Every structure is written in structure tokens, then in C-alpha cells.
Amino acid sequence: MTTRALALFTVAASGMRLRVRLLAGVRDVDREYRAGRPRRDGKVVHGYFTSTFNASARYIGTIVLPADGCLAELVPHEVAHAVMHELERVDRADDERLATTIGLLCARVRAGLKARGVDA
């Protein structure tokens, strides 16, 4: 079950390209994530990352965010999932790349959202 996105754009940093899908609200994100199935625990999904399993894809995956959500919190949370997934494992020798990439991608996602009229 895919909800029509308000915006779809790609950001890049440190050799990683990440797609961003913006949905109207948290309810839309939750419904899409669950594919319409109810959750027994009553928890609501506010944003999520889905990886690209195709090795020839031009981006590492997609983060899905709600326009009415707490984007200051959700953007870094979902970007962290994306970068950790791409790096597969992060050790102390590589944590600087992790932190830098997360910071750059977050700034670019938020700039992309702002350019589309969403306060992030």
C-alpha cells in the first residue's frame, strides 16, 4: 500500500545517495509502513527507512517522513538507520565518517524539506 507523496527528492553526501519521501502525516506513514495491517501493540510508526536491495540502484534507500511530524528528531533518526545500513558495521576507526555523513545528509534533507515549504 503506497501513499501518494507530497514530495520525493534525493540527497547525497560522502558517496551516498538517499531518497526522501514526504507524506502528509504520521497516520499516512504508519499506514504505509504497516501496509494497512493493524498493530497489536498500538504503537505508531512516525518515520522509517527502507533499503534498496538492488546493488545497481542509484541510491542506498528511502526514508519516509511525515510533513506533520517532529522532523528535527525524525530526520537524524532515519538518516542514522540509512548510513549504518550502508556502512554495515561501524567501528571506532570509522565513526567519524558515520557522524559526518549523518550530519551532511540531515542538513541536506532538511534543506530539501524547507525548499518544499515544510518547516524542518
- Name residues whose C-beta falls within 8 Å of residue 38's C-beta, 6 or more positions apart in sequence: none
Q: Spell out the per-residue pLDDT of the chain, length 120, in tens.
A: 677 999 999 999 999 999 999 999 999 999 999 887 777 787 899 999 999 877 778 999 999 999 999 999 999 999 999 998 888 877 766 677 888 899 999 999 999 999 999 987
Which amino acid is located at 43 in the chain? K
Decide: helix, strand or coil at residue 109: helix
Model pTM?
0.86
Q: Let me know: does 23 contact 71? Beta carbons within 8 Å.
A: no
Query: What do you get for the CA distance between the two ends of the chain, in Å?
Result: 26
What is the gyration radius of the CA atoms in the chain, in angstroms? Answer: 14
Tell me, what's the pLDDT at 96? 78
Secondary structure of residue 83 in the 3-state scheme:
helix
Confidence at residue 1, expressed as pLDDT on a 0 to 100 scale = 60
